[in-house]
Each structure stands twice: as structure tokens, then as C-alpha cells.
Structure 1
């Protein structure tokens, strides 16, 4: 990520602890280890991929069989593949422009209801204006 926003990392930790996070292999490898206090699931096409402390699935459809609350944790390809499957999104909107080559998919906000909004605090460690949104899909 081209930004450093520690308060966002704490927010994500609070949301996902005790739940399941699903991520692609590259995202998992960028983390360097399973995230503690949550079930880590890696979606990969590589049939012989193994990662200590994580479960492996090979098909996007397998996400539907996972118990409990599921958080899609990235990367970009998995976000694109699951956009039509999710009923909620937790989005950190950073009010700054960054250069990059990987992006969260575009979505039409008119298809979503803002169920929660919290302004983030800008300080010495969190230099960018931001807000935390909880969006629920309109039926």
C-alpha cells in the first residue's frame, strides 16, 4: 500500500478478529505470516500450495461453504471476483490521491446503503484525512 495509516490497521484488526479472512496467495505472502486470532484462508489455483497456519481453497465457490463471518481480504482479483457475492463492505476511504497499479473495484454507491460512517482522526501517525464506512447492499 502506498500509504501508512496505523489507525486503519487497528480498525481492520478489530473487525476481523475471531472471524475468517479470505485472501489470495500474493496477499498472504505479502503479509509474511497468518494474521493471529482469525482463520486465514488462502484462495489459490496452485494445487500443491501449503502455508502453515492457513487453510487453502482452490475455487471461489468454496467461500460459500466457510462457516461464520467471512471477510474478503484481497487482493484486487479476489475483490473483483467476489463483489457480486458480498452483502456488506467495510471501506476505509482515504481522502488523498496515490499512484498505484492495483485498485479496489469500482462500485456504484447507489446500490449500497451507508449503515455506518466514522470520521478518522488525523494526527502525527495518521497523516491522511479518512473515514470508515460500513455499506450494506440494497435489496
Structure 2
């Protein structure tokens, strides 16, 4: 898959989710999806299905790239900048971990971070009662 195809898929994942639900709910759902993909990557890797594992890692990073591309720096300011750095760090950590003996442990740490982000965005969603606020 080329980088432009991957970027297009990342953008499409966000757009599809945000059309059917509020943008905040879409973020929560996409973070859940990225964590789920990394869990599947762990399972596939442990079963020695390395190509499948790689595919799941790519899907997880594609989701994160889509989230990063849809940050609104004008509305979000410093928070949007920090989120972009966070998403980039998680993407790089996932890609660096692939193929390493400690990849499952690295993926679990990333999943923990994704779950913390998801919980934070869920809190914001509850505070805004599902409003269309975006970062």
C-alpha cells in the first residue's frame, strides 16, 4: 500500500465515523479501533502469523494518522499541537516495535496510552453531552 493510499484510508476512516456520529464520539471509536488492531497484532504475532500482525499494525497506525490529520489547530491551539505530537509518537512506537522480540510488550504500552486517551475523550464527550466540539 502506498503512502498516499494509506493517508486516503486514514482520512476516510475519520470521515466515515464523523458523519454518522459526533466528532468527539468518532475520536473515541477510532481510538478503540486502534487499540483493538494492536491487540489483534499481538495475537497474530504470537501465533506466528507475521504478515497478518503487520497488517493490523498498519491499520492501527492508519487510524492514528487519520486522527492526526483531522486536528483543527485553529480551534484546538496548544491542545491540537500536543495531540499531533502524541499521535505521531504512538505511530512511531508501533512501527519501531514491529518485528522485535519485545513487540507484544511495546504494543501493550501503546494500548494503555490509547485507552487513557480514549477515557479522556470519553470524559470530554460526557461533559459536552455529545456536542460537535472539535479539536
Same fold, TM-score > 0.5, yes or no: no
**Which structure's residues are more often helix, by fraction?**
2
Give the TM-score normalised by structure 1: 0.26
**Which structure's residues are more often strand, by fraction?**
1
> Higher relative contact order by CA 8 Å / sep ≥ 6: 1 or 2?
2
Give the TM-score normalised by structure 2: 0.26
